[in-house]
Chains A and B, each alone.
Chain A
Amino acid sequence: MTARPSRKTSSSTFALAVVAAALAAFAAACGETLYEVPVETPIPAKLDVAPFQRVLVAGFVTGGTEDVDANQETVRLLRSQLRTKSELRVIDADPMPLNEVAQEQNKAATAAPVETTGSTEGPTVRTVQDTTAATVLPQKIKDEKDLEPYDRLFANTAYWKRIGEEYQNPLIVTGTVLFVPRTSSGLVTRETEVYDGLGRRRVIPQRVYMERKGFMLRPKFIFIDGRTGATISSLSRREEALYNAQNETPALSTYFELMDRIVPDFLGTLSTQKIKGTRVLLK
């Protein structure tokens, strides 16, 4: 009675030894020795920032929820990231209230069409178009459509050139940030823990109906040459986070969660980033 299990054990040990020997023989036959090494691949910046020594994160036209001051938070976050992960010197200045600036520029364009009207036909027509557009700049920005008319602010090279002169010709980072609440309901796949009769734990996917809510973040970063006021590049991203409707996730923490996904791309535009990984060296 006791001999049987021991014979079984010895036979399974033998089988294992045979498999191990076969694997070793196979490896030897392949003649391959592996060495795993850590590597850091440098990814060059997408934008040539060599002409600039300083960067001004000026401010953003923002819309959506009022639970988060997206202008203040975005300026603060980008500046702190640039301080540690870029060679450019970051200019400390109060974030510019660009929603108001755009409104003022719009008002000025509406109020003074005659003064800016030239004697030739071209400028006259353009001023009339500007005046028409000026009347539709929405006070409250709720979605992407409301943001569109604000793009004219970033095309105003004279304005940005003046800002550039004020801060000694830096690279200017500005743009728009839309941070809006989102709700969704429907079937989602969740992993559920189940225990069988023997108390063993298993995780199985389960389709369940769920009400979810969260936020969508859509920043558009615009990079402006402070010497000329002209836009040199832009980067748009869209990220969304939805949680179980019963969870009360604060808007600010969702904002940071979403910005965490976006910041690497932003930094990759301005500075060389190193991507860590491992590779296998072969003999």
Chain B
Amino acid sequence: MKSSRSFAVVLLAAAAVAGAGTSVLADARSDAREQVDFGINVAQRGLWREAIYRWEKAVELDPNYAAAFNDLGIAYEHEGQLEKARKAYEKALALDPNNTNIRQNYDLFKEINDRAAQPKDKQ
């Protein structure tokens, strides 16, 4: 009887810890989402540097947020920071490999990036 009670206590404690963990994760995603929303808002008005600041914060808060990395890739691309853009897109794809929107953004970026890296003397 006693052992079954202590087992129940342990189970309850584990559930509480797991719940707290999930809530921390949910909070991080929620905070990151706020930053992403704000970034989208300012990017649509052409304020790309502010957007970068917001999206960098978002990925700091939630390093598994694929959409935030995708948006960051776009902003870096717009600012001509092509190497950073490549890394951000690749991270987004690694986190969400089946996302066709991220794939499409990355493919368009790669086309431009390859052109920028072309050798000077070509036939």
- Interface, chain A (partner B; CB < 8 A): 32, 34-35, 37, 39-44, 46-47, 233-238, 268-269, 275, 277, 279-283
Tell me what chain B mostly uses at the interface: helix, strand, loop, or mixed.
Answer: helix
Partner of A238, one of B74, B79, B118, B123: B123
B122 lies within 8 A of A40 (CB): no
Instruction: Give the B interface residue count (CB, 8 A).
Output: 31
Residue of A235, A275, A280, A281 with highest tally of chain B CB at under 10 A: A281
Given contacts A41-B77, A44-B116, contact A283 B121 (CB under 8 A): no
Chain B residues with CB under 8 A of A235? 120-122
Contact check, B121 vs A233: say whether CB atoms are below 8 A apart. yes
Binds A, one of B4-12, B18-26, B97-105: B97-105
Specify which chain A residues have a CB less than 8 angstroms from the CB of B82 in the assembled complex: 41
Pick the 6 closest A-B CB pairs, nearest first: A282-B67, A42-B80, A279-B74, A43-B116, A39-B78, A280-B101
Which residues of chain B are within 8 angstroms of A42 by Cβ–Cβ distance? Answer: 79-80
Q: Which residues of A contact B40 (CB under 8 A)?
A: 35, 281, 283
In B77-123, the 8 Å CB interface with A consists of: 77-80, 82, 99, 101-102, 104-105, 108-109, 112, 115-116, 118, 120-123
Interchain CB contact (< 8 A) of A282 among B102, B112, B120, B123 = B102
Least Cβ–Cβ distance between A18 and chain B, in angstroms: 24
Q: Is the CB of A44 within 8 A of B80?
A: yes
A250 vs B43: C-alpha distance when bound (angstroms):
47
**B56 CB-CB contact with A under 8 Å:** no
- Taking a contact as CB atoms under 8 Å apart, the answer to whether B112 and A233 are in contact is no
If A40-B78, A281-B40 touch, does A234 touch B67 (CB 8 Å cutoff)?
no
Contacts of A236 in B (CB 8 A): 121-123
Asked if B3 lies at the interface with its beta carbon under 8 angstroms from chain A, I say no
**Are B123 and A37 in contact (CB-based, < 8 A)?**
no
Contact call A37/B44, Cβ cutoff below 8 A: yes
* Cα–Cα distance between A40 and B74 once the two chains are bound (Å): 10
Instruction: Give the chain A neighbours of B115 by CB distance below 8 A.
Output: 43, 268, 275
Set of chain A residues within 8 Å of B101, measured between Cβ atoms = 32, 34, 280, 282
**A175 smallest CB distance to B (angstroms):** 11
Question: Is the pair B77, A237 in contact by a Cβ cutoff of 8 Å?
Answer: no
Residue in chain A with minimal CB distance to B68 = A282
Residue among B36, B105, B120 making CB contact with A233, cutoff 8 Å? B120
Complex CA gap A233/B120 in Å reads 7
Chain B residue numbers with a CB within 8 Å of A269 are 120
* Residues from chain A with Cβ under 8 Å of B43 in the complex: 37, 281
A186 to chain B, nearest CB (A): 24
Cα–Cα distance between A39 and B36 once the two chains are bound (Å):
18
